[in-house]
Amino acid sequence: MAETFEPYPLEELLYSRLRTFEGRSLREVAFPLGGIGTGTVSLGGRGDLRDWEIFNRPNKGTRLPYTFPAIWARGEEAEAKVLEVRPQPPYTGSHGLDRTTALGLPRLEGALFRGEYPFAWIEFRDGALPLEVTLEAFNPMIPLDPKDSGIPVAILIYKLRNPGKGKVSATVCLSLCNAVGYGHELRFPRPWEGFGGNLNEFVAEEGLSGIRMTSTKYGKDDLGFGSMAVATSWSELTHTSRWIRGEWWDDIQTFWDDFSEDGRLTDHGDGTPSPEGRTDIGSLGALVELEPGGEAEVPFVIAWHFPNNVNEWDTAPEFRGKTLRNWYATQWKDAWGVARYAFENFERLREETRLFHDALFESTLPAVVLDAASSQMSTIRTNTCLRLEDGVFHAFEGCSETIGCCPMNCTHVWNYEQALAHLYPSLERTMRRTDFLVNTEPDGKMAFRTKLPTCCYVPWHMEPAADGQMGCIVKLYREWQLSGDRAFLEELWPHAKRALEYAWVRWDMDRDGVMEGVQHNTYDIEFLGPNTMMGTIYLTALKAADEIARALSDPSANEYRSLYEKGSKKCDELLWNGEYYIQKYDPQKAPKYQYGEGCLSDQLLGQWMAMVAGLGHVLPEERVRGALSSIFRHNWKKSLLDHENCQRIYALNDEAGLLLCTWPRGGRPALPFVYSDEVWTGIEYQVAAHMLYEGMIREGLTIVKGVRDRHDGERRNPWNEPECGDHYARAMASWTLILALSGYRYSAPQDTISFAPKINEENFRCFYSTGDCWGVFLQRLTQERMRAVIEVCHGGLRLRTLGLGWKGLSDEAVKGLRARQGGRNLKLKALRTEDGVLLKFERPVYVEPEKSLIIIVGR
């Protein structure tokens, strides 16, 4: 029997200070630095650079040989250390620790790591250094600006402070391996066939200097082609464009002896490329003089440029081995050009990224929600996602060891994703174009995976996915609501319509609004018979289609509406067991992989999608809440110590987690659907966010806390929630935690936005975004005064109506409600609604940066 556990105490859940990492919890921290479609290198919790996934493929655990920051400082005595924290046990390895990590050199005592994606900060601690050292690391991220969120760089700013009473001389030095021609295995001094002809050159230009790393070995269409750079805008420099080329460890020994002696480097560069099978390391050091109390910021950029990706994941000859060129290569010629762009725009990129950071994190939302949403949006900028030459965005589900997994734009997994849709809606729309213009066949069947390049479509041979296919209709509606792009909608609708109506051929053959056919789905198996997981997505798709058809004057609207109404009623009558919604099926026809009487965490998946898209309830509200309660009661486990799971293992031992399914009333099939005993963060977030939408704050936040506690830096990396692959897209469902808690709803076609905070109503502050802007919503409610502000930080917001969740206002208060912008009162009509008040502006309001909209009741 399942035990009932209480959710965590509310005050703990609402705690607003983000966690930090130190000691053991530094170990698994790997904070990805990279842009959209550029790949990433991760900043490890110790300040180390790891997981070099900049070569158009995932590659967890890689370290580039001898690539590390180092510091030399002379106060009373001279100290030289690798600018990383000491590693922790275990220290295993058949030949000891990998010596190209230079882990045999002295390092710093400890650090405090803070990560608020896209920024990471490390406060280093070391008793012997005469300086305080802090690192700020990021890659520019500006919602709605895919270009400046897609620069192939890692920016590392080392901040030094002299806390002592004497002058301190210091050098901060970054060494980087020229990895052009990199293969999957890289171990020095073993020659690697991809190397040879690697060339490091010191370059000094106005505003930046550094080492340009290229190779003479590759033509521009070769997969190995590319370049790297390490650069800085600091002007007092020391460098060696390459280390000596010696036997054994002559190279590192010579470098270290040179550096540690006086913090200055002898340049060994002679303009010759490396011999066959070998490459070179370059080191760039910034010389700093600090008076007592003095501070300095030394900015480094590591830039890369590897234009040519290749389809290694598809087997069909139309696709396999085809070159896929990265979009970023159309913007920058090489890595040095990237570095130059980064420094030319340095302050702007940093400022705008900080603006986004502040809008997101200077919030009264619970820390655990900000943590969940921000950490997972990073997936947009990992190897899970590609942006190709034509600007189109594609994505795997996640990343396997050295290849994406599984390809590509998987409709049912990306059903859960909501961060890209809300932060880079123009890119999300390219996915809809692929869905409907490439993958929808004449009969309406959709391929649920995209093959690249998309020029060569091959008919879909698998079962079509009922959840993925219906989800695409809902997502089309969402994109339209966010963007108001009618042309886009008109172009795609005929295809989407076919895709929707394909349901009547395949899944809802009797057109009663309930699917009973062979429903392939995100569990990689087929459900047979009616169930609300498919059912609610279908209902939401019908509701969305009704709205779209109505807007486009498509007469099918009525049919969709009537089917929706029939289906909703029938679903509820047929599948409610008094406690939650079940699946009806015939065990004779489906001996395996169903759930039947089980309590499925995803049973209201489509309902959650409806909430996010602003389509309201598709099943009776009280039943929805009842079912969510049951899901919490039965499926959430405070500890999994007694849980028996023969499937994949994403949570275990004393960890908390939400199981995909349980059978509290018995009736578990001998072989229920695969994954049923697993815990998936993507589902946990969709269920939790749904609970928040329905006002079940404690339950929802409890689930979120469970997820994030499992990703605590010691157990797992906080910036990577894997499922079928690292950086799994489904986890970006976490973005809707913010939408739900702020009661955000937006419709561009209607020029309307609403907020109705679910917590901290007296003092609420929160990020929001639309298809055209992003900013901050805030409200303060006191006995005397109510005040709401809509700030735009980027873009603009056109409004004709505004909804606020201010309930119980007196007639007088409603009448006295004022709206101000730029010091002027705006004319409006205020109406009391079920949810609060609705403000209708006499003339459209355009909210912009510095032109916030303020709503006031009272003084």
Query: Where on the chain is the footprint of a copy of itself (CB under 8 A)?
Result: 27-28, 58, 60, 86-87, 89-99, 101-106, 246-250, 252-254, 256-257, 260, 398-401, 405, 592-593, 641-650, 652-653, 670-671, 674, 677, 710, 714-717, 722-726
Q: What letter would DSSP give residue 684?
A: H
Residue with Cβ nearer a copy of itself (80 or 739): 80
Give the nearest distance from C-beta 649 to a copy of itself in angstroms: 4
Phi, psi (deg, nearest 5) at residue 263: 75, 10
SS3 729: helix
Give the nearest distance from C-beta 646 to a copy of itself in angstroms: 4
Dihedral angle computed from the Cα positions of residues 436, 442, 443 and 446, in that order, rounded to the nearest 10 degrees: -30
Residue with Cβ nearer a copy of itself (417 or 726): 726
Q: Measuring CA to CA, how many Å separate 384 from each of 647, 727, 801, 810?
A: 24, 7, 38, 51
Residue with Cβ nearer a copy of itself (230 or 405): 405
Give the nearest distance from C-beta 59 to a copy of itself in angstroms: 11
Residue 582: closest CA among 569, 572, 593: 572
Residue with Cβ nearer a copy of itself (92 or 588): 92
Dihedral angle computed from the Cα positions of residues 193, 194, 196 and 198, in that order, rounded to the nearest 10 degrees: -160
Give the nearest distance from C-beta 324 to a copy of itself in angstroms: 22
Q: What letter would DSSP give residue 108?
A: B
DSSP 343-359: HHTHHHHHHHHHHHHHH
Residue with Cβ nearer a copy of itself (204 or 671): 671
Residue with Cβ nearer a copy of itself (145 or 726): 726
Residue with Cβ nearer a copy of itself (573 or 644): 644
Give the bridge partners for 289, in sequence order.
169
Give the nearest distance from C-beta 699 to a copy of itself in angstroms: 25
Give the nearest distance from C-beta 213 to a copy of itself in angstroms: 22
Q: How many CB atoms lie within 10 A of CB 223?
A: 18
Quote the tokens at residue 788.
């709401």
Residue with Cβ nearer a copy of itself (59 or 215): 59
Residue with Cβ nearer a copy of itself (445 or 727): 727
The secondary structure of 444-496, three-state, reads CCECCCCCCCCCCCCCCCCCCEHHHHHHHHHHHHHHHHHHCCHHHHHHHHHHH
Q: Which residues contact 333 (CB under 8 A, 6 or more apart)?
A: 305
Give the nearest distance from C-beta 648 to a copy of itself in angstroms: 5
Give the nearest distance from C-beta 274 to a copy of itself in angstroms: 20
Residue with Cβ nearer a copy of itself (59 or 149): 59
Cβ-contact 521, 527 below 8 angstroms: yes
Give the nearest distance from C-beta 678 to a copy of itself in angstroms: 8
Q: Which residues contact 375 (CB under 8 A, 6 or more apart)?
A: 115, 117, 711, 718, 719, 721, 734
Residue with Cβ nearer a copy of itself (58 or 464): 58
Give the nearest distance from C-beta 475 to a copy of itself in angstroms: 26
Residue corresponding to tokens 């695969």? 674
Residue with Cβ nearer a copy of itself (371 or 723): 723
Residue with Cβ nearer a copy of itself (106 or 292): 106
DSSP 12-42: HHT--SPP-B-GGGGTT-EEEE--TTT-EEE
Give the nearest distance from C-beta 83 to a copy of itself in angstroms: 15
Q: Which residues contact 515 (CB under 8 A, 6 or more apart)?
A: 466, 503, 507, 508, 530, 531, 534, 535, 538
Give the nearest distance from C-beta 174 to a copy of itself in angstroms: 18
**Residue 653 Rama label (left phi>0; alpha psi -120 to 50; beta):** left
Give the bridge partners for 121, in sequence order.
114, 136
Give the nearest distance from C-beta 709 to a copy of itself in angstroms: 12
- Length reported for the chain: 859
Q: Measuring CA to CA, how many Å separate 109 from each of 106, 124, 125, 304?
A: 9, 8, 6, 31
Give the nearest distance from C-beta 718 to a copy of itself in angstroms: 12
Give the nearest distance from C-beta 642 to a copy of itself in angstroms: 6
H or E element, residue 543: helix 532-551
Residue with Cβ nearer a copy of itself (94 or 783): 94
Cβ-contact 30, 378 below 8 angstroms: no
Residue with Cβ nearer a copy of itself (706 or 771): 706
Give the bridge partners for 322, in sequence order.
none
**Residue 790 Rama label (left phi>0; alpha psi -120 to 50; beta):** beta
Buried b / exposed e along 80-99 (16+ C-beta atoms within 10 A): bbbbbbebeeeeeeeeeeeb
Give the nearest distance from C-beta 420 to a copy of itself in angstroms: 21
From start to end of 139-197, where are the E strands? 153-161, 168-177
Residue with Cβ nearer a copy of itself (509 or 649): 649
Q: Measuring CA to CA, how many Å separate 323 from each of 52, 55, 150, 229?
A: 21, 14, 20, 24
Cβ-contact 103, 93 below 8 angstroms: no
Give the nearest distance from C-beta 740 to a copy of itself in angstroms: 27
Residue with Cβ nearer a copy of itself (247 or 347): 247
Residue with Cβ nearer a copy of itself (28 or 485): 28
Question: Which burial class, exposed, middle or buried, applies to 441 when counting CB atoms under 10 A from its CB (0-12, 13-18, 19+)?
Answer: middle
Cβ-contact 453, 506 below 8 angstroms: no
Dihedral angle computed from the Cα positions of residues 163, 165, 170 and 172, in that order, rounded to the nearest 10 degrees: 0
Quote the tokens at residue 10.
């509310």
Give the nearest distance from C-beta 691 to a copy of itself in angstroms: 25
* Rounded Cα distance, 452 and 413, in Å: 18
